[in-house]
Amino acid sequence: MDIFTLILFVWSITLAVYFIVVGSVGLITEKFDSKNRKIAVLEERIRNLEVNLKNK
């Protein structure tokens, strides 16, 4: 195996690991973002209910 093939092999493994890590981090942050959005929607609903109760 010459040096060029070795460099190409190591580079391809490095890229594969990089994309796996970036993809998994993206999925994890997407889960947290969706939970934060759900929490924000629920907080808004609670505020609206409190305003409606005060107005009655």
pLDDT per position as a tens digit, 2-56:
999 999 999 999 999 999 998 888 888 888 888 888 999 999 999 999 999 888 7
Instruction: Name the pTM for this structure.
Output: 0.50
Rounded CA-CA distance 30/24 in Å is: 10
- To the nearest 10°, the Cα dihedral for 25, 28, 31, 35? -100
